Amino acid sequence: MKNIILFGAPGAGKGTQAKLLAEKFDLIHLSTGEMLRHEVAQGTALGQRVKDIMDRGDLVGDDIVVGLIAKALDHGRNELLDEWDELRLRRACGIGDNDPLPEKPQPSIIYDGFPRTVQQCQMLEFLFQKKQRRLDRVISIDVPQEELVHRIHERALVSNRSDDNEETIRHRLEEYESKTRPVLDYYKVSGRLITVDGSGEISETNSRLCKVMEWILQN
C-alpha cells in the first residue's frame, strides 16, 4: 500500500497523468480539484461556499481540502468496487452471495492537486498518522513556464471550467509561485521528492512517469 503525491503547476498535466497512472497500476485516484468541482456542480453547501473562491483562482482553505481527503480515506477501496467486481471476487474466493467478503488490503493511492501549501503538508502528515498510512514519494512534473501558459490557454478553448480564463489563469500561476512552490522545498528536504520532465507530448511524459512509478511500487 503506497501513498504517492503527483505535484505540478497549473497546466502541468497532473489530472491527465494521474488518471493514466491510476488505470495502468490499479491505483485509487484522489483529485481534490475534481471533488471540489463536483460539489459546485451538485450545488451542495460546500460547493456554494467554494465556488467564488475557485472562480477567482484562489486556493480553497486548508481545512476544507484536508477534510475532503480524510473523508475519501474513510471510504476505502470497498466503496469503489462495483457489483461486477464484487461478484468476480466472490466467485474467485468461493464465497456465497450472502457471506461477508474478506478484509481487503488498503489500496495504493495517487493524490492529485494536494497538498498545495506547506500547512497542508503538515496536516497531511498528521492525518496519515491517524489513518496508519505514510507518504512514500512526491513526483513533481516539471514544465517550463511558457509551455504551462500555452497549455492552459489551449485547454480554455475547449473547457467549461469557470477558472479557465485569462485573468484567473494569471492569478492561479501567481498563487502557485507564492503558496504552492514552497511545497517542493518541504519535500525535497525529506528526500521523498522525484522530479520528472513534463515537457512535450502526453505520451512522452507518461512514459517517464511509468518508469518512476514502477520503481516506487517495487520498493
Looking at residue 186, what is its pLDDT?
Answer: 95
Looking at residue 139, what is its pLDDT?
Answer: 98
Name residue, grid cell 467478503.
Answer: 101
Instruction: Please say whether the beta carbons of 155 and 172 come within 8 A.
Output: no
Give, for 139, the enclosing helix (H) or strand (E).
Answer: strand 137-142
Looking at residue 13, what is its pLDDT?
Answer: 94
130 lies in a domain?
Answer: yes
Handedness of CA 181, 120, 3, 91 (dihedral sign): negative
Mean pLDDT, range 11-22, rounded to an integer? 94
Domain coverage including residue 135: 3-75+108-218
Q: Which CATH number fits the domain that encloses residue 19?
A: 3.40.50.300
**Dist. CA 65–CA 141, nearest whole Å:** 21
93 lies in a domain?
Answer: no
182 lies in a domain?
Answer: yes
**Dist. CA 217–CA 46, nearest whole Å:** 35
For residue 78, pLDDT beyond 50: no
Name residue, grid cell 489563469.
Answer: 169
**Dist. CA 139–CA 214, nearest whole Å:** 13
91 lies in a domain?
Answer: no
Mean pLDDT, range 52-58, rounded to an integer? 88
129 lies in a domain?
Answer: yes
27 lies in a domain?
Answer: yes
pLDDT band at 160 (very low <50, low <70, confident <90, very high): low
Domain count, the chain: 1
Cut 0.85: pTM above it: no
The number of CA neighbours under 13 Å toward the Cβ of 199 is: 6
Of 21, 14, 56, 87, residue with least CA distance to 172 = 56
Cα angle value 60/74/42 (rounded, 5°): 50
Looking at residue 88, what is its pLDDT?
Answer: 66
Q: pLDDT per residue over 95-142, tens digit each?
A: 877 787 666 666 789 999 899 999 999 999 999 998 888 999 999 999
150 lies in a domain?
Answer: yes
Q: pLDDT exceeding 70 applies to what percent of the chain?
A: 87
Looking at residue 103, what is its pLDDT?
Answer: 64
